[in-house]
Amino acid sequence: MTDTQAAGPRAADIRDLDARALLLARSVVDGVGADALDRPTPCGPWTLGQLLAHMTGQNHGFAAAARGDGRDLAHWADRPVGDDPAGVFAASAAEVAVAFAEEGVLERAFCLPEVRDGGPFPASQAIAFHFLDYLVHAWDVAVSIGVRPAFDADLLDAVLPVAALVPTGPTREAPGAAFAPALDVPPGVDPLERVLRLLGRDPHWSPPPAA
């Protein structure tokens, strides 16, 4: 989960952007078979199964937060995907999509117990956290199964200012940190590479050869 100081996209746009990132993540996870869950990922020591369990649990947690029950850490627990990665993740994605689409959700405050002091955070900011997470995690999952995903330019333009606000410092080096320390960003790199480097991802990462 990210810990930004402010959301980049306007509140009027953030739910649509998030919904598109979530659909992209779903389309990538649809390509994950149960036999791929032991594969390595760009997310430190996490296997693909652990990453999907995290993503699934976070969807349930954000859905609870949107409905006023985010303080309960039980909602945020990782949810193993078993032998149906696509189905389990899709169900969690549907739940958070419905929660974010509820009338009046943008006027609510979200409690996010894994971010700073837990909030409450303005809804548009909290949804921006989710938007960033699922766009980047879509890339994580894709490259773990040998796919290089394509992202719409406007999604990358919208997520870049959110990524730029993720705090740097020692918290990025702590065990279980959401993002690794930022990498240098060479001038002229494309928006996707810039986002990935800001969040400590190697844009050229690929699974190591099988032993």
Q: How far is CA 103 from the centre of its chain?
A: 24
The least confident of 45-49, 121-125, 163-167 is: 163-167
Would you place residue 176 in the very low, low, confident or very high pLDDT band (cuts 50, 70, 90)? low
pLDDT single digits (tens) 79-106: 999 999 999 999 999 999 999 999 999 9
- 187: in domain: no
The count of structural domains within the chain is 1
CATH number at residue 151: 1.20.120.450
- 117: in domain: yes
- 129: in domain: yes
Q: What is the mean pLDDT of the chain?
A: 90
Would you place residue 4 in the very low, low, confident or very high pLDDT band (cuts 50, 70, 90)? very low
- 123: in domain: yes
For residue 73, give its domain range. Answer: 11-167
Task: Please state the rounded mean pLDDT for residues 1-16.
Answer: 58
- 202: in domain: no
Task: Please state the rounded mean pLDDT for residues 144-168.
Answer: 91
- 52: in domain: yes
Which stretches does DSSP call E strand in the chain? 109-110, 121-122
- Tell me the CA distances in angstroms from 100 to 45, 118, 131, 158, 188, one per residue in order: 31, 19, 11, 18, 35
Q: How many CB atoms lie within 10 A of CB 27?
A: 13
Q: In the predicted model, is pLDDT for residue 3 greater than 60?
A: no
- 200: in domain: no
CA angle 185-189-192, nearest 5°?
90
- 182: in domain: no
Strand partners, 122: 109
Task: Please state the rounded mean pLDDT for residues 97-124.
Answer: 92
Would you place residue 27 in the very low, low, confident or very high pLDDT band (cuts 50, 70, 90)? very high
